[in-house]
Structure 1
Amino acid sequence: MRGTFLALGWAAASAKEYSKTYSFMADRLECEGQCTYCRHAHNQHKWAEIRSKIGHYVYSDPDDDSVLARTEHHQVQNLINWSWTKGVNFECILGIIALRLLSFGYSDPLQFNVYDDPNFGVLDFLDTFNAHSGALDLLTSSWAALLAGGWPVFKQLHLVSKKLIDVMDDRPMKYPNLQTRPNECDEMDAEEDLNYRDAVVHGLKSGEMPALGVHLLAIRRSSGCPVGTAVALLGVALEMIRSRGMYQGSLKDSGNLVYALILTAQDTLNTWVHTKMNWSPFFDMLTTKWPIWEMLSSLACVDSTRPCVTRSALQCYDMLHRESVVCPHQSPQSRSIFVACGEHDICTWPDSFSNLDAKNWCLSHELRAPLKARPWLRELNHDVEERVCSQCGQDGVLRTIFRNVGFREQSPERRSAPFYVEFGARKPGMLNSAVLREFCGWEGVLLDSQPGETPHGGCPHCPGVSIVATEFVTAENIVELFKKYSVPHDFDLLTIDTDFNDYWIWRALLMDGTFRPRVVAVDFNPDIPLHEAKVVRYSAMAEWDGTIYTVGSLLAYALMARAHGYSFAYALEMGSHAFFVRSDLLHEEDVNMPLRFVKKNSHPPDPKQRDFVDVLYDFIPGERVGAASSQDSDLVTEVQRLRRQLQELQGTPAVPNDRRSNGPLSPGFTVSAATSFFEGVRSLG
Structure 2
Amino acid sequence: MKGLIKKALRKAGKYMFPSANHPARDETSLMLQGKQLAHLKSAFVKDSTGLFDFEFKVFSQWGEDGIIEWLVEQLSPLPQIFIEFGVEDYTESNTRFLLMNRNWRGLVIDGSPDAIAKVRRSELHWRHDLTAHASFITRDNIDRIFEEHGFSGEIGLLSVDIDGNDYWVWEAIKSVNPGIVVCEYCAHFGDIHAVSVPYKEDFTRHAGHYSGQYFGASLKAFISLANRKGYTFLGTNASGINAFFVRNDLIPRLGDKQPPVKSFPMRASDTRDEQGTLTFIHGPAKADLMRHLPIVDVETGKQTTLGELGYLYSDEWVKLMRGDLP
Q: Structure 1: how far apart are the matches of 2:121 and 2:232? A: 35
CA distance, structure 2, for counterparts of residue 337 and residue 436 of structure 1: 19
Looking at both structures, which has the greater relative contact order when contacts are Cα pairs under 8 Å and sequence separation is at least 6? 2
Asked if 1:596 corresponds to 2:286, the answer is no
What's the counterpart of residue 33 of structure 2? Answer: 356
1:363-392 deviation digits (Å, cap 9, x = unpaired): 9xxxxxxxxxxxx89553433110111122
Q: Residue 596 and residue 526 in structure 1: after superposition, are their counterparts in 2 closer, same or farther (change >3 A)?
A: same
* Residues 420, 445 of structure 1: 8 Å contact kept: yes
The AA in structure 2 aligned to 1:494 is L
Aligned equivalents of 1:496, 1:345: Cα separation in 2: 25
SS at match of 1:427: coil
**Partner of residue 122, structure 2:** 463
Shift in alpha-carbon separation, 1:344–1:601, aligned structure 2, 3 A: closer
The aligned counterpart of 1:570 is 235
Please name the residue that 1:515 is paired with.
176
After the TM superposition, which residues 412-561 of structure 1 pair with which residues of structure 2 at under 5 Å, given as runs?
418-453=80-115, 463=122, 468-509=132-173, 512=174, 514-545=175-206, 547-561=212-226
Are the structure 2 counterparts of residues 378 and 508 from structure 1 closer, same or farther at C-alpha, using a change threshold of 3 Å? farther
User: 1:380 maps to which residue?
Assistant: 50
CA distance 1:405–1:613, change in 2 (3 Å): same
Cα–Cα, structure 1 residues 468 and 594, in superposed 2: closer, same or farther, change >3 Å?
Answer: same
Do the aligned partners of 2:20 and 2:91 also contact (CA within 8 Å) in 1? no
CA 1:608–1:547: 2 relative to 1, 3 Å? farther
Partner SS, residue 344 of structure 1: coil
Distance change >3 Å, CA 459–CA 490, structure 1 → 2: closer
Give distance in 2, aligned partners of 1:338 and 1:407. 25
- Judge conservation of contact 2:138–2:165 (CA < 8 Å) in 1: yes
For 2:154 and 2:291, locate their aligned partners in 1 and report how far apart those are by CA, in whole Å. Answer: 40
Q: Distance in 2 between matches of 1:335 and 1:462?
A: 35
Determine helix, strand or coil for the equivalent of 1:429.
Answer: coil
Q: Map residues 133-282 of structure 1 onto 2, 5 A cutoff.
A: none
Helix, strand or coil for the counterpart of 1:490? strand
Q: What is the CA RMSD across the aligned residues, in angstroms?
A: 4.0
1:382 aligned partner, one-letter code: F
Tell me how far apart the structure 2 counterparts of residues 532 and 522 of structure 1 sit (CA, whole Å): 17
Provide closer, same or farther for how the CA distance between residues 614 and 595 of structure 1 changes in structure 2, counting only shifts above 3 A: farther
| Amino acid paired to 1:443 | R
Query: Which residue in 1 is equivalent to 2:21?
Result: 344
Partner of 2:71: 401
Structure with more strand by fraction: 2
- Taking structure 1 as reference, are residues 355 and 405 closer, same or farther at Cα in structure 2, changes over 3 Å only? closer
Q: Which residue of 2 aligns with 1:210?
A: none
- Letter paired with 2:239: M
Aligned-partner Cα distance in 2 for 1:608–1:428? 33
Q: Which residue of 2 aligns with 1:580?
A: 245
In 1: Cα distance, 2:63 partner to 2:305 partner: 41
**What is the match of residue 9 of structure 2?**
334
The 1:440–1:345 alpha-carbon spacing in structure 2 relative to 1, beyond 3 Å, is: farther
In 2, Cα distance between equivalents of 1:431 and 1:681: 32
| Count of paired positions | 269
Question: What are structure 1's unaligned runs of at least 5 residues?
Answer: 1-65, 73-330, 364-375, 410-417, 619-673
What TM-score results when the alignment is normalised by the length of structure 1? 0.35
Between the aligned partners of 1:463 and 1:424, the Cα distance in structure 2 is 18
Structure 1 residue 679, shift from structure 2 partner: 3.4
List per-residue Cα deviations over 1:30-73 (Å, max 9, x = no partner): xxxxxxxxxxxxxxxxxxxxxxxxxxxxxxxxxxxx9xx9xx9x
> Contact 1:568 / 1:581 at 8 angstroms: preserved in 2?
yes
Secondary structure of 2:294's match? coil
Once the two structures are TM-superposed, the CA of residue 680 in structure 1 deviates from its matched residue by: 8.9
1:335 partner amino acid = R
8 A contact 1:426–1:451 mirrored in 2: no
Query: Offset at 1:405?
Result: 0.7
Change (3 A) 1:479 1:386: same
Residue identity opposite 1:429 in structure 2 = T
**Which residue is equivalent to 2:311?**
none
What residue is the counterpart of 1:242 in the other structure?
A: none
Distance 1:348 1:580, change over 3 A: farther
Change beyond 3 A, Cα 1:377–1:562: farther
Instruction: Give, in whole Å, the separation in 2 of the partners of 1:476 and 1:519.
Output: 23
**Which letter does structure 2 place at the counterpart of 1:544?**
R
CA distance in 1, matches of 2:214, 2:34: 40
Q: Which runs of 5+ in 2 are unaligned?
A: 40-45, 126-130, 272-285, 307-326
- Report the secondary structure of 1:389's partner residue: coil
Measured against aligned partners, the alpha-carbon deviations of 1:75-105 in whole angstroms (never above 9, x if no partner) come to xxxxxxxxxxxxxxxxxxxxxxxxxxxxxxx
Amino acid at match of 2:200: S
Paired amino acid for 1:447: I
Aligned in 2, Cα 1:404/1:482: closer, same or farther, shift over 3 Å? Answer: same
